């Protein structure tokens, strides 16, 4: 027996599995299984506690997520058509924004396009109408100028209100100028310049006696001012087209509420 004990100890020392790095291999599997089962129980209890702590509203929302995903993956025909037209509008507006910045293809003409846009701005037109109203000495001229001033003020208020409701950004990230902030023309839809020049051109064609070349030039001026806003990247094509439509509707509104000569004289005497 004494001789066999040293031999067994020597065998244990020479056994590779008795080394420290292999001790885990000699451990029974029961402990590992118990550890795994306990960890699973703990995770299951934590999941159950989390499910109990969640709000019923959140559980309902999580249950509705697959249905919402299906609705997004299967949009309606109207949604597809609207998104397609919107994508075409944005793409074409970006292509036509040739003066959006100095690095654009027509960047050198940006100053000239901005100057053309100023001719359709509200502040110069309001200031010019007031100066002409002060210098006017005829009742007919004062009547036309007073109604023109009313149309300009209505245009600024209507366009500013519609832009605040829509809050659509332009195709390029361009900050509005000082005159744009004065007339609250800070968003893209509808285009304020387009509505104003459409209203002015229709107003002048209806109430002024102009030769045919001047009438054609007036219409061309309105079109150039409207689409110059697309060229400098401030508005989309649909913004300008909708601006033309709103400008015509504003003209019809002014025609409905047209102030008579007596009303204009009363307002001028108060002023």
Write the pLDDT tens digit of every residue in 189-208: 999 999 999 999 999 999 98
Q: Where in the sequence is the domain holding 266, given as residue range(s)?
A: 107-270
Q: Look at residue 264 and tell me if it is in a domain.
A: yes
Is 193 assigned a catalytic role? yes
- Contact indicator for 159, 246 with CB cutoff of 8 Å: yes
Distances (CA, A) of 81 to 84, 93, 126: 5, 18, 41
**Tally of structural domains, the chain:** 1
Q: Look at residue 68 and tell me if it is in a domain.
A: no
- Return the pLDDT at 45: 53
pLDDT tens by residue, 22-76? 455 455 544 444 545 555 555 555 454 444 554 555 555 545 544 444 445 556 7
Angle CA(212)–CA(257)–CA(225) in degrees, nearest 5? 40
CA separation for the pair 93, 112 (Å, rounded): 19
Q: Look at residue 58 and tell me if it is in a domain.
A: no
- Return the pLDDT at 18: 57
Half-sphere exposure (CA, 13 Å, Cβ side) for 213?
A: 0
- Return the pLDDT at 179: 75
- Return the pLDDT at 197: 95
Active-site residue, selected from the candidate residues 121, 193, 207, 236: 193
CA separation for the pair 19, 117 (Å, rounded): 87
- Contact indicator for 198, 244 with CB cutoff of 8 Å: yes
Q: Look at residue 49 and tell me if it is in a domain.
A: no
Q: Is 121 exposed, middle or buried (0-12, 13-18, 19+ CB in 10 A)?
A: buried
Q: Is the pLDDT of residue 2 over 90?
A: no
pLDDT tens by residue, 106-151? 878 888 888 898 899 889 999 999 999 989 888 988 999 999 999 9
Q: The tokens 């396009």 sit on which residue?
A: 113
Active-site residue, selected from the candidate residues 121, 207, 235, 236: 235
Is 235 assigned a catalytic role? yes
């Amino acid at each position: 027996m004494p001789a066999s004990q040293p031999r067994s100890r020597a065998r244990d020392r020479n056994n590779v599995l008795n080394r420290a790095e292999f001790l885990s291999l000699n451990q029974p599997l029961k402990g590992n299984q118990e550890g795994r089962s306990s960890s699973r129980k703990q995770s299951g209890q934590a999941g159950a506690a989390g499910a109990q702590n969640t709000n019923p509203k959140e559980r309902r929302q999580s249950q509705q997520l697959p249905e919402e995903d299906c609705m997004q993956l299967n949009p309606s025909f109207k949604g597809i058509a609207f998104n397609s037209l919107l994508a075409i509008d944005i793409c074409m507006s970006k292509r036509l924004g040739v003066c959006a910045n100095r690095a654009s293809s027509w960047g050198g003409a940006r100053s000239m396009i901005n100057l053309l846009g100023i001719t359709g701005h509200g502040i110069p037109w309001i200031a010019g109408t007031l100066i002409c109203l002060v210098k006017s000495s005829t009742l007919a001229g004062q009547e036309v100028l007073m109604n023109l001033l009313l149309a300009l003020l209505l245009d600024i208020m209507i366009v500013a209100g519609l832009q605040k409701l829509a809050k659509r950004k332009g195709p390029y990230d361009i900050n509005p100028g000082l005159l744009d902030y004065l007339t609250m023309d800070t968003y893209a839809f509808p285009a304020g310049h387009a509505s104003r020049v459409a209203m002015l051109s229709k107003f002048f064609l209806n109430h002024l006696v102009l030769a045919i070349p001047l009438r054609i030039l007036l219409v061309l001026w309105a079109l150039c001012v409207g689409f110059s806003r697309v060229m400098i990247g401030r508005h989309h094509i649909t913004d300008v087209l909708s601006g033309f439509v709103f400008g015509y509707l504003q003209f019809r509104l002014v025609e409905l509420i047209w102030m008579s000569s007596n009303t204009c004289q009363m307002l001028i005497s108060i002023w």
